[in-house]
């Protein structure tokens, strides 16, 4: 019987090595302690979730405590289930061209596709009724989330190409055999591609369910890590994926001592930049603990530090912080500035950074590369948001 209550779903992503898996596991333990049936699953090929939980995990939900389950999705198993026909067809073509078998198998899986199929486990839990909360430890990059951002293209394929796939292939096969000496894909291959496109559309709709699903960014207070998180934050907003919190992990406490005193001062400056870059999204913090965050006791300490009095499963911020519309003549950007009521607005664009100053407040937005040549031409405050217009570059 279908579930009548959609589970609360939280995806954690961030640069490798920032403690993302520990934060995801700590969130899951804290949700379970509140009586919520919780599963934490890893789609990260590195699969450190089992190490953090100090448990043996498999590709199926495994008990990990009261109200808690863990799961490490096996990407290879998912590929074999969803992409086998494509791999066999493409691999055969590559081998025929002289590529060795092992390399051919690797080349048949585009980057990010293995994690995309791993995320189908999330789709199953989202549509099921076994859990109240689903926590996802994603891979260290946002590439898979980008794959999920093209539903319009996917729908075009479903509407325009696949209804006519049989007649197209029948017409093309004689030409392919005579002129190209290649075998065109069969029905099984196209069925795999069709399922991929359907899953792209379904996952996109799931991630845009802002009432139940959100993404949380994990970072350390280091400049390079923060810059990557800012880029990911921009893309998440532009794709319509809600970011309801950012977590700054491994912040040096005041009692760190003289040896790391200079590091702590730099971290504090970076924390100010984080507050400016991600506002109004809540910025949660966790200290640099005196020992590794592994096992139930340390995970519970981390969870208490991150959430304090907050409910970990709550939607901590409910609106997209930025929205971008691009057309032939230019672009329009909306950016939430709830702390600004009035004042002079100044804009400065340096490369892909848009620096906004209003009444003593500063926001720095990382623009997507497509806007690299666009020129900001105007800005206005309206209802707690800044609206910026850009002119498109002249046509060559």
Nearest Cα neighbor of 148 from 192, 103, 93, 208 is 208
What pLDDT score does 283 carry?
Answer: 96
What pLDDT score does 1 carry?
Answer: 34
Q: Which residues contact 108 (CB under 8 A, 6 or more apart)?
A: 83, 86, 87, 90, 91, 94
List helix spans (H) across the chain: 20-33, 49-53, 75-82, 84-96, 101-107, 113-118, 120-127, 143-147, 151-156, 165-175, 187-207, 223-238, 261-278, 296-307
Angle ∠(25,32,70) on CA atoms, nearest 5: 45
Angle ∠(194,198,201) on CA atoms, nearest 5: 145
Query: Which residue bears the tokens 């906004």?
Result: 356
What pLDDT score does 2 carry?
Answer: 41
Low-confidence ranges of the chain (pLDDT < 50): 1-3, 161-165, 168-181
Q: Which residues contact 238 (CB under 8 A, 6 or more apart)?
A: 322, 323, 324, 368
- CA–CA dist 193, 180 (Å, integer): 22
Angstrom distances, CA of residue 306 to CA of 113, 229, 262, 294, 324: 32, 18, 24, 16, 31
What pLDDT score does 385 carry?
Answer: 81
Would you list the domain boundaries of the chain?
Answer: 8-77+113-148+204-307, 322-391
Q: Which two tokens stand for residue 338?
A: 């709830």
Could you confirm whether domain 8-77+113-148+204-307 is CATH 3.40.50.300? yes
Contact 246, 282 (CB under 8 A): yes
Q: Which two tokens stand for residue 94?
A: 């590559």
- CA–CA dist 203, 181 (Å, integer): 37
- Grouping H, G, I as helix, E, B as strand and the rest as coil, residue 69 is strand
How would CATH label the architecture of 322-391? Sandwich (2.60)
Nearest Cα neighbor of 49 from 58, 75, 14 is 58
Q: How many helices (H) and strands (E) does the chain have?
A: 14, 15
- CA–CA dist 204, 239 (Å, integer): 9
Q: Which two tokens stand for residue 373?
A: 């040549």
Q: Which two tokens stand for residue 69?
A: 């389950």
């Amino acid at each position: 019987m279908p579930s009548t209550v959609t589970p609360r779903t939280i995806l954690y992503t961030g640069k490798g090595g920032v403690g993302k898996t520990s934060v995801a596991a700590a969130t899951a333990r804290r949700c379970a302690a509140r009586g919520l049936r919780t599963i934490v699953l890893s789609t990260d090929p590195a699969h450190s979730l089992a190490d953090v939980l100090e448990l043996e995990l498999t590709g199926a939900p495994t008990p990990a405590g009261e109200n808690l389950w863990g799961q490490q999705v096996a990407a290879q198993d998912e590929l074999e289930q969803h992409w086998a026909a494509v791999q066999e067809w493409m691999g055969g073509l590559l081998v025929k061209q002289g590529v060795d078998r092992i390399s051919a198998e690797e080349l048949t899986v585009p980057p990010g596709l293995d994690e995309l199929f791993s995320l189908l486990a999330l789709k199953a839990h989202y549509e099921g009724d076994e859990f109240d909360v689903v926590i996802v430890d994603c891979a260290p990059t946002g590439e898979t989330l980008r794959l999920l951002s093209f539903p319009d293209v996917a729908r075009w394929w479903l509407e325009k190409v696949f209804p006519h796939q049989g007649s197209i292939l029948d017409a093309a096969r004689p030409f392919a055999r005579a002129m190209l000496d290649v075998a065109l894909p069969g029905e099984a291959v196209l069925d795999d591609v069709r399922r991929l496109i359907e899953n792209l559309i379904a996952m996109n709709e799931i991630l845009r369910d802002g009432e139940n699903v959100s993404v949380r960014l994990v970072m350390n207070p280091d400049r390079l890590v923060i810059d990557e998180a800012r880029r990911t934050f921009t893309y998440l907003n532009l794709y319509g994926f809600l970011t309801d919190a950012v977590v700054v992990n491994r912040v040096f406490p005041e009692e760190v001592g003289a040896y790391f005193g200079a590091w702590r001062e730099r971290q504090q400056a970076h924390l100010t930049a984080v507050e400016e870059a991600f506002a109004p999204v809540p910025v949660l913090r966790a200290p640099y603990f005196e020992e590794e965050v592994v096992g139930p006791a340390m995970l519970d300490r981390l969870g208490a530090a991150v959430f304090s009095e907050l409910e970990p499963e709550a939607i901590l911020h409910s609106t997209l912080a930025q929205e971008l519309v691009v057309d032939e003549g230019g672009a329009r950007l909306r950016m939430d500035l709830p702390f600004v009521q009035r004042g002079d607005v100044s804009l400065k664009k340096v490369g892909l950074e848009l620096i906004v100053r209003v009444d003593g407040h500063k926001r720095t937005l990382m623009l997507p590369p497509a806007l690299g040549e666009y020129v900001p031409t105007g800005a206005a405050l309206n209802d707690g948001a800044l609206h910026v217009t850009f002119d498109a570059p002249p046509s060559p």
